[in-house]
Amino acid sequence: MSIIAGIAREDAGLTLPDAKRLMVQSRLARRMRSVGCLSFDDYIALLTASPDAEERRALISVLTTNVTSFFREAHHFETLRTQVLPALLREAKRGRRLRFWSAGCSTGEEPYSLAMLLLALDPMASDYDIRILATDIDPKVLSKAKSARYEAASLSALPDFYEQALRATRQEDGSLVMPDSVRRLVTFRQLNLHAQWPMKGRFDAILCRNVLIYFDFEHQSALWPRFRASLGTEGWLFLGHSERIHPIETSGFIQTGVTTYRRTDARPVGTPERED
Ligand SMILES: C[S@@+](CC[C@H](N)C(=O)[O-])C[C@H]1O[C@@H](n2cnc3c(N)ncnc32)[C@H](O)[C@@H]1O
């Protein structure tokens, strides 16, 4: 098992604590069956022999947890709806570009929720210069995300405001398909958070939620300065419910809400722009 844990850490920064041993073993057993390996040794041999580290990538895909849902942790979407997006959309209408990043987007519910929210706030949003970059290490979840097709039930029981956002979606054969206006706002790319980031511009908001929890302290800590450098001065960083920037004092971030962070040099919401 230590070989598997080593690969998980090296390739994806994932930590596999003892508490997850049974879960890891059962996922591994399923993977071994599907590639026809009868013993663990056979599987290790396959891992080392597979060309282009193909099986290592498949292993990471097996080990990652992809649970997600539309408008998950709805308080962040409330912050976006009330404090972040109205002013940004006014600027976008005047020609300013807006960039968002859903880092660890899994099957796409998170970036599509943001796209639906943008469109609910301004039906012209997909005509402005707005992009949501949605990235994940796992190509399998990305191909599901790109298909933009979900179970109809996955969008039930949402607060009133979001019900409106959902009117934009349509149903085909009992499933739910994101309309073009929503899809046009989102670009999916494969990206390992611990590798180089090819993006050049700065983001207005980064959602990296329920991803860092799978990384050890060292891999988490390495990301704070990178997120900070990728955010515009007035940007926002949203983490998952059990994730925290730690230690916050030296991170260059301040906490402004539940798992909600801004750069220390950001202006408080509602203050006028600086002259310089
Ligand atoms: C639990 S999902 C979170 C989805 C969404 N952000 C949410 O909160 O609902 C975690 C995602 O992180 C991705 N992930 C894990 N390690 C990663 C890494 N090193 N780089 C990029 N994505 C990673 C997994 O593939 C998985 O899809």
Residues 169 and 102 in one domain: yes
Residues 159 and 221 in one domain: yes
Closest ligand 1 atom, residue 219 Cα: 19
Tell me if 269 is assigned to some domain. no
pTM of the full structure = 0.94
What spacing in Å lies between the alpha carbon of 273 and ligand 1's midpoint?
35
pLDDT band at 276 (very low <50, low <70, confident <90, very high): very low
Is the predicted pLDDT of residue 275 greater than 50, yes or no? no
Mean pLDDT of 208-234: 97
Residue 51: give the domain boundaries.
1-63
Q: Please tell me which residue, 88 or 19, carries the higher pLDDT value.
A: 88
Distance, in Å, from the CA atom of 266 to the CA atom of 269, rounded to the nearest integer, reads: 9
Q: Annotation-wise, does 135 bind a ligand?
A: no
Final residue of a domain: which of 11, 31, 63? Answer: 63
- Percentage helix, strand, coil for the chain under 3-state DSSP, each rounded to 5: 45, 20, 35
Evaluate whether 193 touches 185 at the Cβ level (below 8 Å). no
pLDDT score for 167: 65
pLDDT score for 170: 65
pLDDT score for 40: 92
Residues 148 and 259 in one domain: yes
pLDDT band at 155 (very low <50, low <70, confident <90, very high): confident
Pocket of ligand 1 (CB under 6 A): 12-14, 64-68, 72, 104-106, 110, 136-138, 141, 192-194, 209-211, 214, 240
Residues 46 and 162 in one domain: no
Residues 200 and 247 in one domain: yes
Closest ligand 1 atom, residue 14 Cα: 16
Domain count for the chain: 2
- Collect all residues with Cβ–Cβ distance below 8 Å to 226 and sequence separation of at least 6: 197
φ/ψ of residue 235, rounded to 5: -75, 170
Q: Annotation-wise, does 136 bind a ligand?
A: yes
Tell me if 276 is assigned to some domain. no
Is the predicted pLDDT of residue 164 greater than 80, yes or no? no
Residues 33 and 150 in one domain: no
pLDDT score for 173: 73
Tell me if 275 is assigned to some domain. no
Average pLDDT, the chain: 92
